[in-house]
Structures are given as C-alpha cells and as structure tokens.
Amino acid sequence: MPYWSDVATTSETVGIAVDMNERQRVLEECLAYFSKLWHQRAAEPRKFDFISLFAHGEETKDMIKDPMEFLGNLILLIVGGNDTTRNSISAGVVELNRNPKEYDKLKTDPSLIPNMVSEIIRYQTPLGHMRRTALEDVEFKGQSIRKGDKVIMWYVSGNRDEEVIEHPDEFIIDRNKARHHLSFGFGIHRCMGNRVGELQLRILWEEILKRFDRLELTGEPERVLSNFVMGYSNVPIVVHKK
C-alpha cells in the first residue's frame, strides 16, 4: 500500500523509478486488488472498514461501475491514510533533532505528546494545498473570484500566518492552541481521518518514549520534490535504547 501511494503521488525525479507505463500497470494492480475486495465486502454483511462502507452505502454502492471514480477515491484514502502519517512521523523526528531543547522538554514531560502531535502536523503540513471550485462570485481582500474559478488553498502558507500564529516559523511543542491549524482542511471538506491520524502519532510517540532514549538524526534528510506532498524520501537515524 505505501508503494501504491508513492507511485500515485511522486515521479522518477524523487526516487520512485517508474515511467508512465509502469505507473499505469501499478495503479491497475491496485484497482484490481480493491475491486476484488469490494465484491467480497458487497456479498457480506456490512462491516466498518472503508471498502465495506462504500459497497453498502446508498450514495456510493454504484461507484464500482466507474473504475476511474473508484480508483480516484481509493488513491485519496490510501494517500491520506498512510502517506501523511508516515511523513508526519519523519517530520517529528527531524524537528525534535533540529530543536534539541524541545526534545528535552518532551522527555521531561511526556504529557506534552498530544499537543506536540498537533504542532508537528501544523509545522510539517503533510499536504501543501488543495484545489476548490468557487460556487459563487466572491470578493476577498480586494481579489475578485468568479463562480467557476479554480482556487488553490495553500495550507502550508496558512499554517505559517504570522497574523494568526505567534512565531509561526518556530517548532514549539507546548504551543498554545497548537491544534488551530489548517492541515486537515476546513468545513465540509475537513479530513475525515483527522482524529485517526492524531491517534496514530500520539500512540507512536508514547511507545517511542517508553522504549528509546533518543532517535538521533545522523545526516541531512532528503525531501520529496513535490509541492503537494510535504515529505521525506530519506531520514537517516540511529536509535538509542534506554
């Protein structure tokens, strides 16, 4: 699943060595796997995994009839469900090493983990932007937006807005109102998995602090060359046990 996510969102320039033909083959493989799973779930009583909910949902039960719509929704769930979390894990390790006082603060007071998770998500901003379509004419800060215009919302910029966030370019794990960020979107489009992502990161850091003294960055991290996925292709570390 991580490989499907990487193939869907990156290119040969960032270390995923697949050309367009190979990408198509991999995504067709993904589609075939989940199509089979869909039919299995549709033949069973409704469960609480996403494929079962899709197969039994009144609004989504016919999605399988349009392979591209089905694949698009699959990629959205796959990327949103693992890519963002993986990159937030890496970002946490990187920023704690770049800010050793914050790492010491965390080790002294593990109760800061939930707030730190929100700060990681704000500072990292796993997905840099999303596009929306204006449903009506709008005037915003002197800019005219007409109905039908495509608007790019730069979450990564909003999360560094000095008019709203004090010292926005600093990584501060006990920041006040750290969860007031835009990384999950806003309104009806807010990420449906936001609480799951926070839970995953919280549990991970709880276990890291229990088991290890420190995760030490041993070299310069390599960034994914993307203006959409704010992530890493390589983060070299050494794990120091307690």
224 pLDDT exceeds 90?
Answer: no
* Conformational region of residue 176, where left means phi above 0, alpha means psi within -120 to 50, and beta covers everything else: beta
Euclidean distance between CA atoms 113 and 129, whole angstroms = 26
Q: What is the pLDDT of residues 40-50, one digit of tens each?
A: 999 999 998 88
DSSP state letter for 111: G
Q: What is the 3-state secondary structure (H, E, C) of 155-202?
A: HHHHCCCCCCCCCCCCCCCCCCCCCCCCCCCCHHHCCCCHHHHHHHHH
Tell me the mean pLDDT in the region 122-133: 93
Predicted pLDDT of residue 81: 72
**Residue 181 CB contacts under 8 Å (≥ 6 apart), including other chains:** 118, 121, 122, 125, 158, 159
Q: Homologous superfamily of 2-241 in CATH?
A: Cytochrome P450 (1.10.630.10)
Predicted pLDDT of residue 201: 97
Residue bearing tokens 């060359």 = 225
Among 70, 73, 76, smallest CA distance to 9 is for: 76
Predicted pLDDT of residue 13: 47
133 pLDDT exceeds 70?
Answer: yes
Q: What is the pLDDT of residues 140-187, one digit of tens each?
A: 989 999 999 999 999 999 999 999 999 999 999 999 999 999 999 988
Predicted pLDDT of residue 1: 65
Q: What is the pLDDT of residues 181-204, one digit of tens each?
A: 999 998 888 888 899 899 999 999
Euclidean distance between CA atoms 25 and 32, whole angstroms = 10
Q: What is the pLDDT of residues 88-119, one digit of tens each?
A: 999 999 999 999 999 999 999 999 999 999 99
Q: Report CA 83 to chain centroid distance, whole Å.
A: 5
Q: What is the pLDDT of residues 14-53, one digit of tens each?
A: 455 567 788 788 888 888 999 999 999 999 999 988 899 9
